[in-house]
Structure 1
Amino acid sequence: MTGLASIDFRRVTDVEDVRQLLLDIHVEVRGEFGLMDQPFQFVERFDERLSSYASRPGWEAVLGYAEGEPVGFAFAVPLAANTRWWASMKNPLPEAYTEENGVRTLALNEILVRKPWRGRGVARRIHDELISGRSEERVTLLVNPKHGDGKLKAVYEAWGYARIGTQQPFSDSPVYAVMMRPLRIAAP
């Protein structure tokens, strides 16, 4: 297996250049976790969400490669002034906190890493590459707090994210913990 130092990154702003690869990795990774029987995870539903996110201004994906083989990806999009991101919060946040203008908050929509590279810091490297060079003030994400008995949520907390509430953005989706962090975190 390849070392962490040999991961190369590819930034993509046109989803059509990588759509099938993202769909394939989604099926592989979510299948390994036994999630592909859930309607929200069906490849068609994932592709609908992917198309929706990628149609918005500022969408970007970062794919990681080791020796030419894809190891994982992340993609994100800035929240527009008319976003519905905050509409499904279980306990609404103050309006000043949720006011968006297209440059305030980056929404990390997905991050997936293939099995041979999990537990080796690859997800963090893909995440950090995605947010590097971004101009937004903060970054938000949704995580199923039950996934991995809370271990995935704990990973995001270790990356500087804090839970700010819960939401269920789609009728067939899980109830997610909503997490937020400043885009830039000062080194300790």
Structure 2
Amino acid sequence: MDRFDERLSAYASRPGWTAVLGYEEGDVVGFCFGTTLAPDTKCWNSMLTPLSASTMSENGKRTVALNEIVVRKAWRGRSVAWQLHEAWLTHRTEERVTLLVNPLNGDGAVQAVYEAWGYRKLGDRQPFADSPVFSVMLRSVTQGDV
């Protein structure tokens, strides 16, 4: 939990950070948050799969990173994550959104959900020496855009 608190504080202090909370009858059922990638982002530095310079180019307005999406257990399987995700993206002005997903979570089911939401895998990334290897996924902020 300390590591999460540390990361949350770091993310929330960055320009462009926003969050969405979901409620049902006054109970918080989930949340998601993320922040704009700065021109000097190190987001693409730990890629294990080489990407083109144009893919990695950031100007502080191009890409938003979805840092976390969490739904309480009792509300899972009811499209709450999708609703939170889309509500959060509604207020974003960037052209694309990226996220990391552990491809082993749910034996690949979590990554398949993001694919169903329009994300495509760009490659693999290990952001910290002690972290798993994640799939880096990307999609347009506005569904239907290329």
TM-score, structure 1 as length reference: 0.75
Point out where structure 1 has 5 or more consecutive residues left out of the alignment. 1-42
Alpha-carbon distance, 1:133 to partner: 2.5
**Could you give the per-residue CA deviations for residues 65-124 of structure 1, whole angstroms, max 9, x where no partner exists?**
111100010001000001010000002211111110111001000001001100000000
**Could you give the per-residue CA deviations for residues 39-74 of structure 1, whole angstroms, max 9, x where no partner exists?**
xxxx00111111111111010110101111000100
Alpha-carbon distance, 1:186 to partner: 2.4
Q: Does 1:129 align with 2:129?
A: no
d(CA) in 2 for partners of 1:139, 1:158: 15
RMSD: 1.0
Q: In structure 2, what is the equivalent of residue 107 of structure 1?
A: 65
Alignment equivalent of 2:44, drawn from 86, 92, 102 = 86
For residue 97 of structure 1, give the secondary structure of its aligned residue in structure 2. helix
d(CA) in 2 for partners of 1:172, 1:74: 24
Q: In structure 2, what is the equivalent of residue 162 of structure 1?
A: 120
Structure whose CA Rg is larger: 1
Alpha-carbon distance, 1:134 to partner: 1.2
Q: Letter of the aligned partner of 1:142 in structure 2?
A: L
Q: In structure 2, what is the equivalent of residue 76 of structure 1?
A: 34
Q: In structure 2, what is the equivalent of residue 119 of structure 1?
A: 77
Q: In structure 2, what is the equivalent of residue 52 of structure 1?
A: 10
Name the % identity: 59
Q: Letter of the aligned partner of 1:160 in structure 2?
A: G
How many residue pairs are counted as aligned between the two chains? 145
Q: Letter of the aligned partner of 1:183 in structure 2?
A: V
Q: In structure 1, what is the equivalent of residue 97 of structure 2?
A: 139
**Could you give the per-residue CA deviations for residues 101-156 of structure 1, whole angstroms, max 9, x where no partner exists?**
11100100000100110000000000000000311000000000000000000000
Q: Does 1:180 align with 2:134?
A: no
Point out where structure 2 has 5 or more consecutive residues left out of the alignment. none
Q: Letter of the aligned partner of 2:25 in structure 1?
A: E
Q: In structure 2, what is the equivalent of residue 21 of structure 1?
A: none
Q: Letter of the aligned partner of 1:99 in structure 2?
A: S
TM-score, structure 2 as length reference: 0.97
d(CA) in 1 for partners of 2:83, 2:125: 27
Say which structure is richer in helix.
1
d(CA) in 2 for partners of 1:143, 1:112: 13
d(CA) in 2 for partners of 1:177, 1:185: 20
